[in-house]
């Protein structure tokens, strides 16, 4: 099979439940009041400012994410979510591998917690692409060889690298999503600094863009209070 090399991540919003109004409705049950649209904007502002988080759990999203295994592995550290992933035991995997695009910073300077990343030299850029491609090609060849010799998929897959693409569905509520976004996007409005991997940051940016269409008011307040999850 022909090997495909990519540098991009794919994020689709598959399904969602709830809206800004759902958040306000959940919050208002405590006082038994109802409010106008304008009053709800103010209510959501107060909830975000005071980190009164549970009403934000009233909104749920399901995304489909296609990314390399090294990104998925970081993603799955976010436990307040539900996941279903493509199985390398039940199907033959697709030969799609990650290769960094030339603009991806390659030089890591500093110490843990305070790294700075800078562009690679032309030699580093070329070596990085070559090494990714040859490692993926070698691994894929051995994966196919093992399958051809009748070795089970669940064993043959062990020779494949972290750069292989995987796909998964993730279902998470808005509160958990905001926590994810606060950690995985070094946004200019973030009050608390974070240093995410570039590739998971690309996923976070797409999730933010898609999710804010569903709850524009909640996201506006998230931004204005420094992108701290409630």
Residue from 62, 128, 171, 194 in contact with ligand FAD (CB under 6 A): 194
Contact segment (CB under 6 A) with ligand FAD among 14-22, 31-39, 191-199, 207-215 equals 191-199
Greatest CA span in the chain, whole angstroms?
Answer: 69
Residue from 72, 176, 208, 219 in contact with ligand FAD (CB under 6 A): 176
Contact segment (CB under 6 A) with ligand FAD among 35-43, 48-56, 133-141, 194-202 equals 194-202
Residue 111 contacts ligand FAD per CB under 6 A: no
77 φ, ψ (degrees, to nearest 5): -70, -15
Distance in angstroms (rounded) separating the CA atoms of residues 97 and 5: 5
C-alpha angle 212-191-229 in degrees, rounded to nearest 5: 45
Active site residues: 184
Looking at residue 157, what DSSP letter applies?
G
Report the residue number, 166 or 182, with the smaller CB distance to ligand FAD: 182
Residue from 145, 195, 216, 226 in contact with ligand FAD (CB under 6 A): 195
Looking at residue 5, what DSSP letter applies?
E
Distance in angstroms (rounded) separating the CA atoms of residues 56 and 175: 5
76 φ, ψ (degrees, to nearest 5): -70, -10
Residues 59-88 that bind ligand FAD (CB under 6 A): 77-80
Q: Which residue in this structure is represented by tokens 């976070």? A: 204
Report the residue number, 81 or 160, with the smaller CB distance to ligand FAD: 81
Number of residues that bind ligand FAD (CB under 6 A): 11
Distance in angstroms (rounded) separating the CA atoms of residues 219 and 211: 9
Closest distance to ligand FAD from the beta carbon of 82 (Å):
11
Query: By the criterion CB under 6 A, which residues form the site for ligand FAD?
Result: 77-80, 176, 179, 183-184, 194-196
């Amino acid at each position: 099979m022909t090997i495909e090399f990519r540098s991009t991540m794919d994020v689709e919003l598959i399904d969602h439940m709830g809206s800004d109004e759902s958040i306000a409705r959940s919050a208002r049950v405590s006082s038994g009041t109802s409010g106008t649209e304008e009053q709800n904007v103010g209510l959501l502002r107060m909830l975000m400012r005071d980190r009164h988080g549970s009403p934000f759990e009233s909104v749920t999203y399901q995304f489909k994410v296609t990314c390399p295994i090294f990104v998925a592995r970081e993603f799955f550290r976010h436990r307040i979510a539900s996941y279903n992933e493509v199985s390398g035991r039940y199907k033959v995997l697709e030969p799609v591998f990650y290769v960094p695009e030339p603009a991806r910073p390659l030089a890591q300077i500093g110490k843990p917690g305070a790294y700075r990343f800078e562009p690679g030299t032309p030699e580093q850029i070329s070596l990085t692409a070559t090494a990714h491609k040859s490692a993926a090609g070698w691994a894929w060849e051995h994966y196919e060889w093992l399958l051809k010799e009748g070795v089970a998929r669940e064993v043959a897959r062990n020779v494949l690298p972290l750069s292989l693409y995987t796909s998964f569905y993730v279902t998470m509520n808005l509160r958990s999503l905001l926590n994810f976004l606060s950690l995985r996007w070094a946004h200019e409005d973030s009050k608390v600094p974070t240093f995410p991997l570039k590739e998971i940051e690309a996923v976070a940016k797409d999730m933010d863009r898609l999710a804010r269409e569903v709850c524009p008011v909640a996201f506006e307040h998230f931004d204005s209070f420094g992108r701290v999850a409630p």
